[in-house]
């Protein structure tokens, strides 16, 4: 399914940085946008990258920061159910994990995302649809939040983890005015940018200029929508241990849902109540992808260096919108 991509891999792009500004190489709606970007990462030395795995074990892979709860769940299932589980931490080497997925490697059964790369895995089709597994489908559909954030074109692409529902950190460096603009106009998952000529951005910038810039008042302002960050535990479509993988994902869900024996009142991450009203919820990872929205952030920084005239603001907004569109469409 993805082998044809390997011949096209002739260079690496580093996008796993908050200051990244790489662009995509395919039209919006074409999943090659995600497949090509998926190869990006820091090629780092990692003993795990080339090591052989126990063919009988459930192999869980991730890169980036360590995830203690994954280790905890793995140990619990080893002891309580005798499962053979191997955890592979690629540290900062996204390339190692991504190339395994691109080559349809069967040694990885489950992998974890980081917020910057979720859309690439989903649009590229690097997931097993969890709706095919009744125990997971019932869990996901039993909570309004998980049903919303795990859905993609009729599939459930992963179990949400490290959920930060109503997380105020999104406003640390951006006012609700600017965040609302991103929310309403950028959707990286669908490959859509709704302000192609920058006219809406120009209106936002004009209001900001009148206020002396994009000032964020503390305590953080109330907003008229719910917002959330999350990562995901995803079942690889190439896994040969799907029964064991589903059992692991069940336990991840139960832990985050606070219905597992491992759950506790002090755990850092958990889902909101099953009946939480999430209508209109802003799933921030769908828009806040630095490699796409960086021109908007840079233009916002440049705003107060203009003379504030309508002409200058429109020109700034138009150029920023043009650059975002290029990154979305190639």
CATH, domain range 3-166+228-256:
3.40.190.10
Q: What is the pTM of this model?
A: 0.80
Task: Give pLDDT, residue 306.
Answer: 96
Place of tokens 């996901």: 140
Task: Give pLDDT, residue 50.
Answer: 53
Task: Give pLDDT, residue 287.
Answer: 87
Q: Where in the chain is the domain with CATH 3.40.190.10?
A: 3-166+228-256
Residue 110 near residue 128, CB atoms below 8 Å? no
Task: Give pLDDT, residue 166.
Answer: 74
Residue 206 near residue 95, CB atoms below 8 Å? no
Residue 322 near residue 16, CB atoms below 8 Å? no
Q: What is the 3-state secondary structure (H, E, C) of the chain?
A: CCHHHHHHCCCCCCCCCCCCCCCCCCCCCCCHHHHHHHCCCCCCCCCCCCCCCCCCCEEEEECCCCCHHHHHHHHHHHHHHCCCEEEEECCCCHHHHHHHHHCCCCCCCEEECCHHHHHHHHHCCCCCCHHHCHHHHHHHHCCHHHHHHCEECCEECCEEEEEEECCHHHHCCCCHHHHHHHHHHEECCCCEECCCCCHHHHHHHHHHHHCCCCCCCCCCCCCCCCEEEEEEEEECCCCCCHHHHHHHHHHHHHHHCCCCCCCCCCCCCCCCCCCCCCCCCEEHHHCCCHHHHHHHHHHHHHHHHCCCCHHHHHHHHHHHHHHHHHHHHC
Q: What are phi and psi of 22, to 5 degrees?
A: -75, 165
- 204 preceded by a cis bond (ω within 30 of 0): no
Q: What is the pLDDT along the chain (330 residues), one digit of tens a residue?
A: 343 233 222 222 333 333 333 333 333 344 444 444 444 444 333 334 456 778 889 999 988 777 889 999 999 999 999 999 999 988 777 778 888 888 999 999 999 988 777 988 999 999 999 999 999 999 999 999 999 999 999 999 999 998 888 766 666 667 778 888 998 999 998 889 999 999 999 999 999 999 888 877 655 555 566 788 899 999 999 999 999 999 999 999 999 999 999 998 888 889 999 999 998 788 888 888 888 999 999 999 999 999 999 999 999 999 999 999 999 886
Task: Give pLDDT, residue 136.
Answer: 98
Residue 95 burial by Cβ neighbours in a 10 Å radius (0-12, 13-18, 19+): buried
């Amino acid at each position: 399914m993805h082998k044809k991509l390997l011949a096209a891999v002739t260079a690496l792009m580093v996008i796993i940085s908050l200051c990244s500004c790489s662009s995509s190489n395919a039209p919006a709606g074409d999943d090659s946008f995600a497949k090509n970007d998926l190869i990006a990462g820091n090629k780092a030395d990692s003993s795990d990258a080339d090591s052989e795995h126990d063919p009988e074990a459930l192999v869980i892979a991730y890169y980036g920061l360590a995830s203690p709860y994954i280790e905890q769940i793995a140990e619990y299932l080893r002891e309580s159910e005798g499962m053979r589980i191997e955890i592979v931490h690629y540290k900062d080497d996204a390339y190692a994990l991504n190339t395994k997925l691109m080559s349809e490697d069967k040694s990885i059964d489950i992998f974890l995302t980081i917020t910057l790369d979720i859309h690439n895995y989903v649009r590229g089709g690097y997931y097993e649809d969890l709706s095919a597994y009744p125990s997971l489908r019932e869990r996901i559909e039993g909570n309004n939040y998980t049903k919303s954030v795990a859905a993609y074109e009729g599939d459930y692409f992963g179990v949400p983890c490290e959920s930060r529902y109503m997380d105020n950190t999104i406003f640390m460096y951006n006012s609700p005015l600017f965040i609302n603009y991103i929310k309403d106009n950028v959707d990286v998952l669908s490959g859509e940018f709704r302000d192609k000529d920058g006219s809406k951005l120009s209106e936002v910038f004009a209001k900001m200029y009148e206020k002396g810039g994009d000032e964020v008042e503390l305590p953080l302002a109330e907003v008229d929508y719910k917002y959330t960050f999350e990562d995901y535990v995803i079942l690889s479509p190439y896994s040969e241990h799907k029964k064991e993988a589903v059992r692991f994902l069940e336990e991840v869900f139960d832990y985050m849902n606070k219905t597992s024996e491992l759950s506790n009142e002090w755990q850092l991450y958990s889902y909101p109540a099953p009946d939480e009203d999430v209508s209109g919820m802003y799933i921030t990872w769908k828009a806040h992808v630095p490699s796409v929205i960086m021109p908007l952030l840079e233009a916002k920084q440049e705003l107060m260096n203009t003379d504030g005239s309508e002409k200058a603001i429109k020109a700034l907004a138009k150029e920023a919108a043009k650059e975002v569109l290029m990154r979305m469409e190639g």
